[in-house]
Amino acid sequence: MMNSFDFQAKTEIYFGKGREEEVGKILKKHNAKNILIVIGKKSVIKSGLLGRVTHSLEGENITYHILQGVRANPTFDLVREGNKMVIENQIDFILAIGGGSVIDTAKCIAATTYYSGDIKDFNLHKASPTSALPVGVILTIAAAGSEMSASCVIQDDETEIKLGFLSDLIRPVFAIENPELTYSVNKEQTAYGVVDILMHTFERYFSYSDKNELADEFALGLLKNVVEVGLIAYNEPENYDARARIMLDSTISHNGYTSIGKKYVFPVHALEHAVSGRFANIAHGCGLAILFPGWAERYYIYDIDKFARLGRHVFGIKETKKKEAALKCIKAFKSYFKKLGMPSRLSEVGVKESDIDALADIVSGKGSKVVDHHCHPLDRETAKEIYLKVL
Amino acid sequence: MMNSFDFQAKTEIYFGKGREEEVGKILKKHNAKNILIVIGKKSVIKSGLLGRVTHSLEGENITYHILQGVRANPTFDLVREGNKMVIENQIDFILAIGGGSVIDTAKCIAATTYYSGDIKDFNLHKASPTSALPVGVILTIAAAGSEMSASCVIQDDETEIKLGFLSDLIRPVFAIENPELTYSVNKEQTAYGVVDILMHTFERYFSYSDKNELADEFALGLLKNVVEVGLIAYNEPENYDARARIMLDSTISHNGYTSIGKKYVFPVHALEHAVSGRFANIAHGCGLAILFPGWAERYYIYDIDKFARLGRHVFGIKETKKKEAALKCIKAFKSYFKKLGMPSRLSEVGVKESDIDALADIVSGKGSKVVDHHCHPLDRETAKEIYLKVL
């Protein structure tokens, strides 16, 4: 029977060429007067984007401070730095210019600055935020979907563990999305993004559904769209339409619509966070591309119909024997990831057989917990089996 | 090329059994202290729903006034009455308990009370709202989708014309959706609702699309879902799951996701508003069920691919000749409407041949305007042709 649920996805989207020049007006509408801008290393400075943004802010008399240096798989260090800047400068709004790492850093600063406990509490699920500063986004890569999600993933460098939490309080107030800003995203990063968008949607789709689930129809539609345009964006970096569509796909893939009314768990993400948490050189999207086929080949037997339906909708696979159809679907995604230049084995990205036990320990809390996937829980043993399968 | 666009769909959804009992808490969260409750005739009183709501309000010390008497195809009279009550009682929040007519009345009151011009200005597109009181909804019928839409349609009894406007300012703050509240909706009204939900989605789907349009994938998915569960809800009024799914479909059908990034026009709605505006006995959903096939048979030649794709996705029509596939799709919907007990001719609901010129005049502003559908504009002549076709 259909679940009871609460739902909202309030982020305002401002989509199209040049929209970042409206950021001052949009912030003013939301009563921002003194903002913290969070950015990565240097690319938004070099590209001139930051200059256009500050020009727009100055036009509306909005003052700003800049927190620079967010890295991929972002850490708590910069969150602490952000906390200080917010307090010292009486910041009333946080603007993230970047992708998932920058946005998640901004969200974590927003939720933790005025929280009296430890800044890791939310990520460790020891507490939930009760308030947060508003966050806005200027998106520069189609990937994480953090621009419209309630999610925040931060890396704990001490333990090498990536930790995530969900709260509607950190869902961005607005996302400015100019597809042209993603023209400079290189092929590799574009591919990682495509994989990440697919995976947010896979994990929702493969979570338990009732019959006639609207969410599943949306998930299938989104997956088909991503597969179609993702490869075009990968091969034609300045194809506006492909960049635009994958950007919108990114935003919708993680805002809740592809799981509306459903409960969901993210077993492949859990497997991957263990990997990129321990191996900082491995991009999240890269890890997902390697691990999904391993997970799928282990789990498809529990949900053959859904794999068959996915293959039919996305790749037009007409095989009527369901098991064969499901396997063809997995094969088609493996081949798709290959076209995106993704590696298919953990050993290709530096993971050794001797690392596998440690990864399985991380996913399973040394065997003490399982990711409670509806069709078959992901425990230490199964995690190890999957890691070894794709080593 | 993909359009630039602004998008938001901020309504909070509280979905599930008994959720109406939380209305006091939800209103309190939104700082409501003194509200106007808008209802229809008597059913929400008789059913005990109003009593449960006022009990919840009293628990949170929220005071209320009640505006009763909204009819189907609601008029400006009650809006004026609401305007007075808002001012006299210093109302800070409007709660609609009902379906589209009640919600649209609440929205119109919210937008017009403190507007200095005429209350018909927004509906006549002479002006746009710049502010509005917040509106919340307890939904009692799955149909109009007004619970999460920016739309407000009111009837002008003087001119017999139904007029609509769009503004994000009137998009409800929250919608409480308890499927059990719709168990008592009779078969006829259930069917009208199903048709209305389909039509909001058809009109978006058949509006011009680029290739790889995510919105079209969502529209197809929603249409398939509605067709599947609509008939179950029609035949099994106390089937919780069917009532729940059609309720969620209603909400999503008009909140913007099935047209995200697209421009759209509503030619069949325009044809129908002329009919139910003039013939108050004809329900909106009934008029749509009669008019859609007439419109489709006239227009499918301009967009054969889309009709074929729709038939394939929703009804599994495998016909490979596109024109035949498109015609089979239209036929399948006609047959579906029949299963929902819908009439198929205007003459069955009291429209005479001598009325057709007047209807064509209303749609076309006596020939002065056309509904600018991308594939072929709907002018006076085409409107008349369609009306005569389904007479």
Residues B261-274: pLDDT tens digits? Answer: 999 899 999 999 99
Residue A226's pLDDT is: 98
Asked if A15 and B1 come within 8 Å (Cβ–Cβ), the reply is: no
Question: Domain check: are A247 and A344 in the same one?
Answer: yes
Asked if B9 and A6 come within 8 Å (Cβ–Cβ), the reply is: no
Nearest CA in chain A to B218: A218
Q: Which residue has the tokens 């119109």?
A: B108
pLDDT (mean) for A325-334 = 98
Residue B222 banded pLDDT, cuts 50, 70, 90? very high
Tell me which residue in A6, A225, A245 faces B2 most closely, judged by beta carbons: A245
* Distance separating alpha carbons of residues A81 and A86, to the nearest angstrom: 9
Helix H or strand E segment including A304: helix A304-315
* Distance separating alpha carbons of residues A277 and B130, to the nearest angstrom: 49
- Percent of the residues in chain A that have a pLDDT greater than 70, as a whole number: 100
Nearest chain A CA: its distance from B185 CA (Å): 20
Tell me the pLDDT of chain B averaged across its residues. Answer: 96
Residue A287's pLDDT is: 96
Nearest CA in chain B to A16: B4
pLDDT (mean) for B147-166 = 90
Asked whether residue A5 is assigned to any structural domain, the reply reads no
- The answer to whether residue B31 scores a pLDDT higher than 80 is yes
The domain that contains B122 carries what CATH number?
A: 3.40.50.1970
Q: Which residue has the higher pLDDT, B219 or A373?
A: B219
Residue A369's pLDDT is: 84
Residue A370's pLDDT is: 85
Tell me which residue in A6, A212, A228 faces B229 most closely, judged by beta carbons: A212
Question: What is the tally of structural domains in chain B?
Answer: 2
- The answer to whether residue A368 scores a pLDDT higher than 90 is no
Asked if A5 and B15 come within 8 Å (Cβ–Cβ), the reply is: yes
Residue A280's pLDDT is: 84
- Of the candidates B217, B98, B370, B383, which has an alpha carbon nearest to the alpha carbon of residue A257? B217
Q: Which residue has the tokens 């991380």?
A: A362
- Of the candidates B373, B371, B390, B204, which has an alpha carbon nearest to the alpha carbon of residue B287? B390
* Distance separating alpha carbons of residues B241 and B9, to the nearest angstrom: 25
**What token pair was written down for A183?**
């023209």
Q: A245: which chain B residues are within 8 Å (Cβ-Cβ)?
A: 2, 212, 214
> For residue B275, what are the contacts with CB-CB under 8 A and spacing of at least 6?
B282, B287, B291, B346, B351, B359
Asked whether residue A216 is assigned to any structural domain, the reply reads yes
Q: What angle do CA B142, B146, B152 make, to 5 degrees?
A: 145
Q: A210: which chain B residues are within 8 Å (Cβ-Cβ)?
A: 241
Asked whether residue A289 is assigned to any structural domain, the reply reads yes
The DSSP code for A300 is G
Backbone angles phi, psi at B119, to 5 degrees: -70, -15
Asked if B214 and A222 come within 8 Å (Cβ–Cβ), the reply is: yes
Asked whether residue A290 is assigned to any structural domain, the reply reads yes
Asked whether residue B149 is assigned to any structural domain, the reply reads yes
Asked if A6 and B15 come within 8 Å (Cβ–Cβ), the reply is: yes
The domain that contains A227 carries what CATH number?
A: 1.20.1090.10
- Percent of the residues in chain B that have a pLDDT greater than 90, as a whole number: 91
Answer yes or no: are the C-beta atoms of B35 and B57 closer than 8 Å: yes
Q: A5: which chain B residues are within 8 Å (Cβ-Cβ)?
A: 13, 15-16
Question: Domain check: are B271 and B213 in the same one?
Answer: yes
* Distance separating alpha carbons of residues B272 and B268, to the nearest angstrom: 6
Residue A32's pLDDT is: 98
| Listed range (A40-54, A73-87, A194-208, A272-286) with the worst mean pLDDT | A272-286
Residue B375's pLDDT is: 78
pLDDT (mean) for A35-41 = 97
Question: Domain check: are B160 and B42 in the same one?
Answer: yes
Q: B8: which chain A residues are within 8 Å (Cβ-Cβ)?
A: 10-13
Question: Domain check: are A254 and A109 in the same one?
Answer: no
The residue among B218, B252, B259 with the most chain A CBs within 10 A of its CB, best to mutate, is B218
Residue B159's pLDDT is: 84
Residue B158's pLDDT is: 86
Asked if B224 and A217 come within 8 Å (Cβ–Cβ), the reply is: yes
Residue B280's pLDDT is: 84
Q: B214: which chain A residues are within 8 Å (Cβ-Cβ)?
A: 221-222, 225, 245, 248-249, 252
- Of the candidates B244, B227, B69, B49, which has an alpha carbon nearest to the alpha carbon of residue B142? B244
Asked if B240 and A1 come within 8 Å (Cβ–Cβ), the reply is: yes
Residue A371's pLDDT is: 82
Residue A262's pLDDT is: 93
State which of B126, B152, B181 marks the end of a domain: B181
Rounded to a whole number of angstroms, the CA Rg of chain B reads 20
Residue B253 lies in domain: 186-389
Residue A374's pLDDT is: 76
Residue B69 banded pLDDT, cuts 50, 70, 90? very high
| Listed range (A169-183, A212-226, B66-80, B155-169) with the worst mean pLDDT | B155-169
Helix H or strand E segment including B387: helix B380-389
Asked if A12 and B6 come within 8 Å (Cβ–Cβ), the reply is: yes
Question: Domain check: are A69 and A143 in the same one?
Answer: yes
* Distance separating alpha carbons of residues A31 and B345, to the nearest angstrom: 54
Question: Domain check: are B73 and B148 in the same one?
Answer: yes
Asked whether residue A168 is assigned to any structural domain, the reply reads yes
Asked if B4 and A15 come within 8 Å (Cβ–Cβ), the reply is: yes
Q: Which residues of B touch A (CB under 8 A)?
A: 1-17, 19, 179, 210-214, 217-218, 220-222, 224-225, 228-229, 240-241, 244-245, 248-249, 252, 257, 260-261
> For residue A24, what are the contacts with CB-CB under 8 A and spacing of at least 6?
A56, A57, A58, A59, A60, A62
pLDDT in tens, B106-154: 999 999 999 999 999 999 999 999 999 999 999 999 999 999 999 999 9
Question: Domain check: are A321 and A177 in the same one?
Answer: no
Q: In a 10 Å sphere around its CB, with 0-12 CB exposed, 13-18 middle and 19+ buried, how is residue A110 labelled?
A: buried
Asked whether residue A134 is assigned to any structural domain, the reply reads yes
Residue B192 banded pLDDT, cuts 50, 70, 90? very high
**What token pair was written down for A40?**
């990565």
Residue A157 banded pLDDT, cuts 50, 70, 90? confident
Asked whether residue B2 is assigned to any structural domain, the reply reads no
Report how far apart, in Å, the C-alpha atoms of B60 and of each of B55, B56, B108 are: 9, 7, 27
Question: Domain check: are A158 and A200 in the same one?
Answer: no
Question: Domain check: are A296 and A365 in the same one?
Answer: yes
Tell me the pLDDT of chain A averaged across its residues. Answer: 96
Q: B221: which chain A residues are within 8 Å (Cβ-Cβ)?
A: 214, 217-218, 220-221
**What token pair was written down for B23?**
């209305």
Q: Which residue has the tokens 């996701």?
A: B257
Residue B163's pLDDT is: 86
- The answer to whether residue A160 scores a pLDDT higher than 80 is no
pLDDT in tens, A263-277: 989 999 999 999 998
State which of A128, A163, A181 marks the end of a domain: A181
pLDDT (mean) for A59-80 = 95
Answer yes or no: are the C-beta atoms of A155 and A118 closer than 8 Å: no
Residue B337's pLDDT is: 98
Nearest chain B CA: its distance from A215 CA (Å): 9
Asked if A10 and B10 come within 8 Å (Cβ–Cβ), the reply is: yes
Question: Domain check: are A323 and A242 in the same one?
Answer: yes
Residue B271's pLDDT is: 96
Tell me which residue in B13, B211, B257 faces A6 most closely, judged by beta carbons: B13
Residue A379's pLDDT is: 93
Asked if A5 and B19 come within 8 Å (Cβ–Cβ), the reply is: no
Q: B239: which chain A residues are within 8 Å (Cβ-Cβ)?
A: none
State which of B133, B148, B181 marks the end of a domain: B181
pTM summary value: 0.96
Asked if B15 and A261 come within 8 Å (Cβ–Cβ), the reply is: yes
pLDDT (mean) for B80-86 = 98
Question: Domain check: are B161 and B200 in the same one?
Answer: no
Question: Domain check: are A176 and A194 in the same one?
Answer: no
